[in-house]
């Protein structure tokens, strides 16, 4: 019997890993587990008592649901977990008392781990909640609102779900590809014309009203002089029949709907019967997107209908679910990613960051933020604490996450400074984007942030010297970087060969590849004399803590780039000197000088 059990599990292992794409786990896992488990239990184990059959079936389903959840994040470890799950079941139904005891002990250990709350993230919370004396109005619009709108044909972008999911959509929504324009909007009460910011949610169960989860952001923007809109695209999300997964190929439809909402507000702005008559500054449009919505806002900005979309902000965004790379030109961009994101487990916003270019004389910026303790779901106030709702959530480490109010406050603060800088031309806010730790009350967590803007130009490679190190050119998130292996007294020199860089700020970005902070000595040299020296530090990588135990947190280091903007006076050469104790590798971006 034990050999039959072993054969069953290893057959499952090979079926899942080698024959079924990982994405298909979402669709076939519950059905497959149910059918093959029943077949196995009642065919091969017919002689086992009914109580043992039930126990085996329950344990079997639980193990595979947990393993399947983990496979979504770390496919390469799924094999080991399935093999490990085989062992206690073989032990449990063995005739050997010691093996039975070991099997029960392993199962109890898994249960205890699921009950263990995890280690608490220690940080000082105390963000000063930014409130304004300005009040705001609120309204909804769409099918079930007093402010009726219309529907648009999305068949060029979205064909709807098929099979059971398609049937369910038609029953639940009463439509398929002719989609409504629904949403909610907060706007200042006072008279005036205000920039407008549209927010679009990501994928969750379609039956949830995900667009309501950004009221914290809308209210904050409205209190500070913006018309703030949350777009309802819940009908494009996955429903319970496909486990809420949806189809990634619909992100262009999400982007198309954003542009249709802009068209609607454009018409309201010129309609004397509208509450928003002459209320919107449609020359200053910003977009915010979360998860799949983060990719959708870039698609909308790229194809824009000639609307002046000037600023795009993304929260834990997806990338390349759409059929092509989206390049943004002369559009400011800000992206935020949490280190503990259990859904988008790498910083995909960095890929979009690397596809943003500036080539005109207007001021634009791009910035990225990798935040300790932030996860995926808590950017939406209605998505809960964990990044999954399945049985696997028992092993996620919600204790090691930021408090939801702090994670959302960071999004509010950075978002407001970003939109103020671009849509209101308040360039004094830029300093807070470069140095977020300056913001009063920001929690004392680690934030690694990169930044550049259109006031900088790239320093030519001919003006750089590398000594006592080896370098390899690599591509990371679509950007080109130097992978440097440091040795004793490694040094990088920037040469001012044309004497054109005096009194200009030097800017570069670097990333640690491990949990070691790298000290760097900066020397400013003029006429062969060292006129100034000081130290900077490349921060250690932030450790990902998605699961409660380090045994499951594999691949828990992701290099992320910290910007350094160094003011200079007159100089002939700037040296970055790595002390003799350095035995490390780092990633280095290009060097820029202020124009």
Q: What is the β-pairing status of strands 518-526 and 356-357?
A: unpaired
- Note the pLDDT of residue 499: 80
Q: At a CB cut-off of 8 Å and minimum separation 6, what does 98 contact? A: none
226 located within any domain: yes
Q: In which residue ranges of the chain is pLDDT below 50?
A: 1-2, 14-28, 43-44
| Calpha distance 32→28 (Å, rounded) | 6
497 located within any domain: yes
| Greatest extent of the chain over all pairs of C-alpha atoms, in Å | 91
Alpha helices in 304-396 (DSSP H): 349-354
Print burial letters for 503-535: b (CB count within 10 Å at least 16), e (below 16): ebebbbbbbbbeebebebebbbbbeeeeeeeee
| Calpha distance 182→173 (Å, rounded) | 13
Domain end, chosen from 386, 421, 453, is at 453
- Note the pLDDT of residue 71: 62
User: Do 314 and 246 share a structural domain?
Assistant: yes
Phi, psi of 540, rounded to the nearest 5 degrees: -65, 155
Q: How many residues does the chain have?
A: 595
Domain end, chosen from 453, 488, 507, is at 453
- Note the pLDDT of residue 38: 56
Q: At a CB cut-off of 8 Å and minimum separation 6, what does 395 contact? A: 66, 69, 70, 113, 114, 547, 548, 549, 552
Q: Counting Cβ atoms within 10 Å, is residue 95 exposed (0-12), middle (13-18) or buried (19+)?
A: exposed
For residue 188, the SS3 value is strand
- Note the pLDDT of residue 32: 53
- Note the pLDDT of residue 184: 97
Domain end, chosen from 62, 80, 115, is at 115
- Note the pLDDT of residue 142: 95
129 located within any domain: no
User: Do 480 and 434 share a structural domain?
Assistant: no
pLDDT tens for 458-503 read 999 999 999 999 999 999 988 999 999 988 889 999 999 888 888 8
User: Do 342 and 402 share a structural domain?
Assistant: yes
Nearest of 91, 84, 95, 86 to residue 105 by alpha carbon: 91
User: Do 423 and 523 share a structural domain?
Assistant: no
Q: Partners of 557 in the beta sheet?
A: 543
| Calpha distance 495→506 (Å, rounded) | 12
318 located within any domain: yes
User: Do 357 and 478 share a structural domain?
Assistant: no
pLDDT tens for 515-552 read 888 899 999 999 999 999 999 999 999 999 988 877 77
Nearest of 451, 455, 571, 594 to residue 522 by alpha carbon: 571
For residue 588, the SS3 value is strand
User: Do 447 and 571 share a structural domain?
Assistant: no
145 located within any domain: no
201 located within any domain: yes
User: Do 40 and 79 share a structural domain?
Assistant: yes
The reported pTM is 0.90
Instruction: For tokens 């590398």, name the residue.
Output: 466
User: Do 104 and 7 share a structural domain?
Assistant: yes
What range does the domain containing 501 cover? 456-594
User: Do 347 and 211 share a structural domain?
Assistant: yes
Nearest of 444, 399, 381 to residue 545 by alpha carbon: 399
Does residue 149 contact residue 181 with C-beta atoms inside 8 Å?
A: yes
Q: Partners of 537 in the beta sheet?
A: 519
410 located within any domain: yes
- Count other Cβ atoms within 10 Å, centred on residue 344: 22
- Count other Cβ atoms within 10 Å, centred on residue 38: 12
- Note the pLDDT of residue 497: 85
Report the domain count for the chain.
Answer: 3
| Calpha distance 46→37 (Å, rounded) | 13
246 located within any domain: yes
User: Do 544 and 407 share a structural domain?
Assistant: no
| Calpha distance 444→440 (Å, rounded) | 11
Instruction: For tokens 């300005």, name the residue.
Output: 134
Does residue 301 contact residue 334 with C-beta atoms inside 8 Å?
A: no
| Calpha distance 422→390 (Å, rounded) | 40
User: Do 447 and 574 share a structural domain?
Assistant: no
CATH assignment at residue 548: 2.60.120.430
- Note the pLDDT of residue 224: 94
User: Do 218 and 88 share a structural domain?
Assistant: no
């Amino acid at each position: 019997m034990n050999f039959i059990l072993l054969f069953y599990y290893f057959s499952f292992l090979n079926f899942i890993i080698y024959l079924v794409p990982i994405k298909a786990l979402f669709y076939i896992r519950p059905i497959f587990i149910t059918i093959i488990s029943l077949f196995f239990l009642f065919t091969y184990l017919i002689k086992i008592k009914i109580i043992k059959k039930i126990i085996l079936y329950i344990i079997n389903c639980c193990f595979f649901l947990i393993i399947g959840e983990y496979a979504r994040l770390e496919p390469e470890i799924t094999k080991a977990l399935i093999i490990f799950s085989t062992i206690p079941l073989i032990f449990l139904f063995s005739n050997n008392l010691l093996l039975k005891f070991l099997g029960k002990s392993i199962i109890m250990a898994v249960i205890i781990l699921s009950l263990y709350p995890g280690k608490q993230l220690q940080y000082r919370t105390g963000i000063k909640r930014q409130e304004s004396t300005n009040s705001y109005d609120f309204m909804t619009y769409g099918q079930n609102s007093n402010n009726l709108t219309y529907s648009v044909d999305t068949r060029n972008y979205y064909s709807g779900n098929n099979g059971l999911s398609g049937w369910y959509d038609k029953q639940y929504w009463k439509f398929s590809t002719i989609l409504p324009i629904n949403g909610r909007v907060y706007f200042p009460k006072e008279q005036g014309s205000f920039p407008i910011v549209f927010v679009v949610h990501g994928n969750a169960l379609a039956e949830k009203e995900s667009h309501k989860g950004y009221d914290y952001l809308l209210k904050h923007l409205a209190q500070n002089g913006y018309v703030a809109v949350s777009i309802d695209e819940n009908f494009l999300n996955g429903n319970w029949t496909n486990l809420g997964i949806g189809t990634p190929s619909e992100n262009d439809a999400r982007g198309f709907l954003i542009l249709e909402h802009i068209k609607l507000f454009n018409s309201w702005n010129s309609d004397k019967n509208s509450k928003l008559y002459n209320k919107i500054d449609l020359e200053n449009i910003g977009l915010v997107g979360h998860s799949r919505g983060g990719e959708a806002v870039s698609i909308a900005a790229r194809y824009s209908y000639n609307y002046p979309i000037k600023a795009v902000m993304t929260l834990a965004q997806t990338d390349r679910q759409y059929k092509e790379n989206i390049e943004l030109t002369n559009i400011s961009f800000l992206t935020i990613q949490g280190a503990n994101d259990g859904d988008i487990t790498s910083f995909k916003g960095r890929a979009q960051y690397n596809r943003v270019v500036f080539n005109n004389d207007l001021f634009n910026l791009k910035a990225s933020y990798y935040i300790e303790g932030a996860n995926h779901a808590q950017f939406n106030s209605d998505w809960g604490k964990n990044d999954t709702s399945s049985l696997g959530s028992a092993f996620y480490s919600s204790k090691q996450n930021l408090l939801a109010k702090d994670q959302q406050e960071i999004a509010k603060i950075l978002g407001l400074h970003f939109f103020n800088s671009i849509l209101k031309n308040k360039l004094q806010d830029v300093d807070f984007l470069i140095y977020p730790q300056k913001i009063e009350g920001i929690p004392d967590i680690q934030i690694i942030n990169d930044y550049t803007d259109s006031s900088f130009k790239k320093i030519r490679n001919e003006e750089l010297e590398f000594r006592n190190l080896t370098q390899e050119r690599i591509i990371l998130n679509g950007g080109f970087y130097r992978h440097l292996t440091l040795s004793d007294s490694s040094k990088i020199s920037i040469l001012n060969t044309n004497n054109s860089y005096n009194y200009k700020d030097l800017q570069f970005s670097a990333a640690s590849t491990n949990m070691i902070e790298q000290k760097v000595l900066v020397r400013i040299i003029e006429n062969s004399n060292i006129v100034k020296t000081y130290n900077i530090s490349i921060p250690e990588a932030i450790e990902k803590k998605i699961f409660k135990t380090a045994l499951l947190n594999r691949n828990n280091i992701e290099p992320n780039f910290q910007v350094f903007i160094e003011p200079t006076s007159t100089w002939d050469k700037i040296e970055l000197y790595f002390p003799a104790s350095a035995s490390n590798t780092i990633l280095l971006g290009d060097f820029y000088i202020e124009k």
